[in-house]
Amino acid sequence: MPWSSRAALLRDLVLGVLGTAAFLLDLGADLWAAGQYALSGRYLWAALVLALLVLASVALQLFSWIWLRADPAGLHESQPPRRCLALLHFLQLGYLYRCLQGLRQGLSVWQQEVPSEFDLAYADFLSLDISMLRLFETFLETTPQLTLVLAIMLQSGRAEYYQWVSICTSFLGISWALLDYHRALRTCLPSKPLLSLGSSVIYFLWNLLLLWPRVLAVALFSALFPHYVALHFLGLWLVLLLWIWLQGTDFMPDPVSEWLYRATVATILYFSWFNVSEGHTRGRATIHLAFLLSDSVLLAITWVTHSTWLPGEIPLQMWLPVGGVCLLLGLALRLIYYRWLHPSCRWEPDRVDGARSLFPLAQGQLPQNRRMTHLARNFFPKAKDQAALPRKGEVNGVL
């Protein structure tokens, strides 16, 4: 194997180890914070931290289990029996098992002198699923936890050392998930050289810079009106869920699990942008940005009209300008990205509807993660002059 290929495999393996470590570190920090809240008698805060952990974990295990059952027959030959896998997911260990399985496959490929095409494709297949699950976990658990700890700090007027640890690990988890997701999208590009390292950095920065003002606005509102933030989230979440349903998403293997995906995407859209269907992306992104920006401004105005100083005598002028600058920088970088760095691709036409109806894996066929490819099609537009023909030998879920 050429040295460049072996170095790329080693890099992916190291990134996988670091991603798993970041997940465990964030989980440990949240459990530590919940324990400290309970020991100090703040049981409601501890219950909220644990509730976010449990809800996100259950959703993650459901996604993992549904995808395993929908994968082509014979793809995961080295996995334990289905009962063992079901027990792992019931014990909330399904995602961690996937991470360890991906690391084992990556290590196996790296140790081979000449790895087979199937082993390489299977390693990519596993890592793409992990990237999607990591992104879902980020917006179902890490981002809400960050909002919660900021609201607690603002409401109490002081910051404990374990809260700063939780904030740092949350930012680490969010940053890693955004970068890893963009790398996974790049893996699915038919023309990978079109996407440079610079575009990944700009993509990461504009997402993070636009996410921070949103988290700050919700945290400020939560600190002042803790009893109303749940109603606010539920109201916007239902509107976003309706919007997603009207777009006719078709991502999961069956209509029932599709609602789990829609509910998850609605939660993501509460904080950030996530494209769920092809075509008219610019219009939908503009509508979502205007909607989210208007809501954030209303939350900030509501906070300003009821309180001009934070509980710890920190002036409000130190917070809102920071959020405003982050917002303007994020918008500028987002415009730069979509104007000059967002490639159009020559996608081959699908022969299936979404990610459904996977056939058994035939002899000699290579696994293709159609779930991530489906999201990449939504994210990267087709070239205007595209006139692609169906790829010879393409079948449902495999090449």
Q: What is the pLDDT along the chain (399 residues), one digit of tens a residue?
A: 677 677 888 888 888 898 899 899 999 999 999 999 999 999 999 999 999 999 999 999 999 999 999 888 778 777 888 899 999 999 999 999 999 999 999 998 888 888 888 888 888 899 999 999 999 999 999 999 999 999 998 888 788 888 898 888 888 888 888 888 888 887 877 665 455 677 778 888 888 889 989 999 999 899 888 889 999 999 999 999 999 999 988 899 999 999 999 999 999 999 998 888 876 677 888 899 999 999 999 988 888 787 655 555 555 567 778 888 899 999 999 888 888 776 665 555 443 333 443 445 555 577 888 888 888 887 776 655 443 433 333 333 333
Amino acid 172 reads L
Residues 206 and 337: beta-carbon distance below 8 Å: yes
Half-sphere exposure of 175 (CA within 13 A, CB side): 12
Q: Which of 86, 53, 184 is nearest to 129 (CA)?
A: 184
Query: Is 230 buried (19+), middle (13-18) or exposed (0-12) by CB count in 10 A?
Result: exposed
Q: Is the pTM of this model over 0.75?
A: yes
Half-sphere exposure of 97 (CA within 13 A, CB side): 19
pLDDT for 7 equals 82
Q: Which of 215, 172, 182, 153 is nearest to 29 (CA)?
A: 172
Q: How many residues does the chain have?
A: 399
Amino acid 274 reads F
Q: Which of 116, 139, 132 is nearest to 52 (CA)?
A: 139
Token couple for 380: 């990267």
167-195 confidence digits (pLDDT tens): 888 888 888 888 888 888 878 776 654 55
Largest CA-CA distance found in the chain, in angstroms, rounded: 68
45 Cβ contact partners less than 8 Å away, ≥ 6 residues apart: 37, 148, 152
